[in-house]
Amino acid sequence: MDKIAVIGVGSTEFGDLYDRAINEIAVEALFDAIRSSGVKKDDIKSLFIGNMGSEMFVKQEHLGNMVSTLADLPVPSFKVEAAGASGAVAMRTAYHSIQSGHMDIVGVIGVEKMTEFTKQSETQGALATGLDVMWESNMGGTLATGFAMMAKAHMREYGTTREQIAQVAVKNHQNAKKNPKSQFKINVRVESILRSKMIADPLRLFDMTAACDGGSALILASPEVAESYDSDPVYIHTSKFGYSPLQMHLRKDLTTLTGTTFAAERAYENVGITAKDIDLAEVHDIFTIAEILAIESLGLVEKGKGGQATEDGVTSLEGSIPINTSGGLKGRGAPLGAVGVSQAIEMYEQFKGLAGDRQIKNIEWGLTHSMGGTGGTSLVTIFGR
């Protein structure tokens, strides 16, 4: 049996957590997850920490040891990094470690503290380390310019409109209003997005996510052990990794996230389902256009029809395939190391019927999708009973 149970979830709020250090944010999320799970702290055999850039953002490496020390939890603890996919990769590494038979209960923490820089250029510089330093970031390339090129290609190739792309943000902020822990509980209109400051043509300020602090945590357990804590657990059924060339200039097609498609196909096959069986998904909407690319690349909507589907409400809470019910990175918030873990928390709450006004009914299969950089790394994780 490949599946591993999620027996507890925990989180800080996402935003400018100026009053807490990064290890305090991580431990707050962890302790929240421990309380939620019912395990004793000392039952936890290892910690897996997803974090993109604490050494840049807050001058702190060795986060595993820092977190262990503050939590008074003297177990194996280390950081896993794959840019924006760090949290999802930490979760996958934990999943494999339980399957190795060496440990039965572990903690996964995703954490980032991004708001201490005083200059916007420092933040952009830190994020651009997820691109190729020699061929992209040193030449002025940023995450925004990368996704802007993909947006232009998608508009040209499929007639996707600027308004359709903006609709992703409108929807995700509406969903965020229904999530108590989200950062941006706001109404935004398509017109305001299209009037906001130009960042990288055609993407504007409100197409982006914001620098953010926050932590998310999960307690994972082997199926045998999980039964003692939860009579009907939510399970991770598979977690697949997809690769695409890191550099934009090495990609043959800018309108498909090929790593995402690769990971999704293997994930569906591994579980024995197809994209049609997925009832809801959290995807890596680090920019508005990224959600459209993701839902197409995952096979959740037809290729080229992601913009139209978004405009038609197919991906809204009432639609046939609700996307980013949590608010996504756009609305829930985007502390990068935390987002892959935060997506799993939304799955847990949806499966457990804890999602309040954003609750989706009759869920059998859910999916989370996380990316590093401009999509070089993709993770697809499938949740079910």
Contact 176, 167 (CB under 8 A): no
Nearest-10 Cα torsion for 285, 286, 287, 289: -40
DSSP class of residue 315 equals T
Among 38, 42, 62, 156, binds a copy of itself (CB under 8 A): 62
Which residues in 185-244 contact a copy of itself (CB under 8 A)? 241, 243-244
- Name which position in 28, 32, 81, 349 contacts a copy of itself (CB under 8 A): 81
Smallest gap, in angstroms, from Cβ of residue 41 to a copy of itself?
14
Residue 322 binds to a copy of itself (criterion: CB under 8 A): no
Candidates 100-108, 154-162, 168-176, 312-320 — which segment interacts with a copy of itself by CB under 8 A?
100-108
Under rule CB under 8 A, residue 58 binds a copy of itself: yes
Interface size with a copy of itself, residues (CB under 8 A):
59
21 binds a copy of itself (CB under 8 A): yes
CB nearer to a copy of itself: give 309 or 334. Answer: 334
Binds a copy of itself by CB under 8 A, chosen from 139, 198, 250, 354: 250
* Residues 6 or more apart in contact with residue 172 via CB below 8 angstroms: 285, 291, 324, 327, 328, 330, 331, 332
Q: Cα separation of 123 and 126, whole Å? A: 5
Please tell me whether residue 212 adopts helix, strand or coil conformation. coil
Among 33-41, 221-229, 287-295, 368-376, the segment contacting a copy of itself (CB under 8 A)? 368-376
d(CA 367, CA 38): 25
Task: Answer yes or no whether residue 111 interacts with a copy of itself by CB under 8 A.
Answer: no
Question: Closest approach of Cβ 319 to a copy of itself, in Å?
Answer: 32
What SS3 state is found at 68?
helix
Give the tokens for residue 278: 């997925």
Binding a copy of itself by CB under 8 A: which of 247, 312, 319, 359?
247
Q: Are 324 and 172 in contact (CB under 8 A)?
A: yes
Nearer to a copy of itself, 137 or 315 (CB): 137
Q: Do 292 and 168 contact (CB within 8 A), yes or no?
A: yes
**Do residues 228 and 219 touch, judged by C-beta distance below 8 A?**
no
**Cα torsion 168, 328, 354, 1: sign:** positive
17 touches 111 (CB < 8 A): no
Q: Is 372 in the site for a copy of itself (CB under 8 A)?
A: yes
Q: What single-letter amino acid sits at 304?
A: G
- Would you count residue 140 as binding a copy of itself (CB under 8 A)? no
Other Cβ atoms closer than 10 A to 2: 13
Q: Which is nearer to a copy of itself, 80 or 155 (CB)?
A: 80
Among 377, 382, 383, 384, binds a copy of itself (CB under 8 A): 377
Return residues touching a copy of itself (CB under 8 A): 21, 46, 52-53, 55-56, 58-66, 68-69, 74-83, 85, 89, 92-93, 96-97, 99-102, 125-126, 129-134, 137-138, 241, 243-247, 250, 262, 372-373, 376-377
